[in-house]
């Protein structure tokens, strides 16, 4: 069975990998990876938000509730875009406009709703948060929304960065020692920018 290509998970945190499911995010025409609910399930498995066993049940649910699943995906993508704008607005001043109230509310409600489904599982010595094995499409994004809540309320936020490759818009956490990360991915964007600069230098050299 043909599988839609999934984006590389480069950000280091679940909710940012989710935000990065739109490529060329900082342009007028982002490229959408999550083109249908089945791809969302594939992505959630790939990102370890959903285990393979439960994913089979979620896929069956999607198959039986196609219209509802499509509508839920559309709602989810609207929340993803709201989260993207909220995160951009938290980068150093002057980088992006302030987030609108509507975006803040959308993200806050999304996170609160997801957290409402979390279950606390006893363990020794530590207990852990987990998610019920519910075969619905929503189960695929609860961990993602919770991850967004953790990022927005935790110390990781000060390491948030956006890719320097114009138009990419990929978000990441810069956990490098000297906070020198500039690209969502050195292999993709870092090398693309470097080779463009190199070509420009060669052209400028020829013009002399
Ligand atoms: Zn990039």
- The model's pLDDT over 84-105, given as tens digits with 9 standing for 90+, comes to 999 999 998 777 888 999 999 9
What pLDDT does residue 161 have?
94
Helix (H, G, I), strand (E, B) or coil at 98: coil
- The model's pLDDT over 22-66, given as tens digits with 9 standing for 90+, comes to 999 999 999 999 999 999 999 999 999 999 999 999 999 999 999
Cα(170) to centroid of ligand 1, in Å?
A: 5
No. of helices (H) and no. of strands (E), the chain: 7, 6
Pairing of strands 22-23, 31-32: antiparallel
188/45 Cα distance (integer angstroms): 23
Cα(157) to centroid of ligand 1, in Å?
A: 19
66-89 helix and 52-64 helix, angle to the nearest 10 degrees: 120
119/127 Cα distance (integer angstroms): 10
- Inter-residue contact 37 to 49 (CB < 8 Å): no
Of all residues in the chain, the percent with pLDDT exceeding 90 is: 76
Predicted TM-score of the model (pTM): 0.90
Helix (H, G, I), strand (E, B) or coil at 94: coil
Cα(30) to centroid of ligand 1, in Å?
A: 13
Per-residue confidence band for 115, with pLDDT thresholds at 50, 70 and 90: very high
Per-residue confidence band for 2, with pLDDT thresholds at 50, 70 and 90: very low
Residue 12: both structure tokens together: 């280091």
Cα(193) to centroid of ligand 1, in Å?
A: 10
Cα(164) to centroid of ligand 1, in Å?
A: 7
Q: What is the dihedral of CA 188, 91, 31, 176, to 10 degrees?
A: 20
List the domains of the chain with CATH numbers. Answer: 14-207 (1.10.3300.10)
Q: Maximum Cα–Cα distance for the chain, whole Å?
A: 71
Per-residue confidence band for 1, with pLDDT thresholds at 50, 70 and 90: very low
Selected residue with higher pLDDT from 59 and 195: 59
Beta strands in the chain (DSSP E): 22-23, 31-32, 119-121, 128-130, 160-162, 171-173
77/137 Cα distance (integer angstroms): 13
Per-residue confidence band for 208, with pLDDT thresholds at 50, 70 and 90: low
Least confident span in 94-98, 137-141, 163-167: 94-98
22/141 Cα distance (integer angstroms): 16
Label residue 171 exposed, middle or buried (CB < 10 Å: 0-12, 13-18, 19+).
buried
């Amino acid at each position: 069975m043909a599988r839609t290509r999934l984006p590389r998970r480069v950000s280091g945190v679940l909710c940012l990998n989710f935000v990065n499911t739109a490529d060329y995010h900082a342009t007028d025409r982002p490229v959408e990876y999550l083109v249908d609910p089945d791809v969302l399930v594939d992505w959630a498995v790939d990102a370890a938000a959903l285990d393979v066993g439960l994913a089979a049940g979620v896929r069956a649910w999607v198959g039986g509730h196609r219209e509802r699943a499509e509508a839920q995906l559309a709602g989810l993508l609207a929340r993803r875009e709201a989260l993207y704008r909220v995160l951009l607005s938290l980068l150093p001043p002057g980088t992006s406009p302030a987030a609108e109230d509507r975006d803040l509310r959308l993200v806050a409600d999304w996170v609160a709703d997801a957290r409402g489904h979390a279950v606390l599982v006893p363990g020794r010595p530590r207990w852990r948060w987990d998610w019920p094995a519910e075969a619905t499409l929503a189960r695929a994004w609860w961990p993602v929304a919770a991850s967004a809540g953790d990022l927005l309320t935790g110390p990781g936020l000060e390491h948030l960065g956006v890719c320097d490759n114009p138009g990419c818009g990929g978000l990441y956490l810069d956990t490098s020692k000297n906070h020198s990360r500039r690209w969502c991915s050195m292999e993709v964007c870092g090398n693309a920018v470097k080779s463009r600069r190199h070509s420009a230098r060669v052209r400028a050299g020829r013009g002399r």
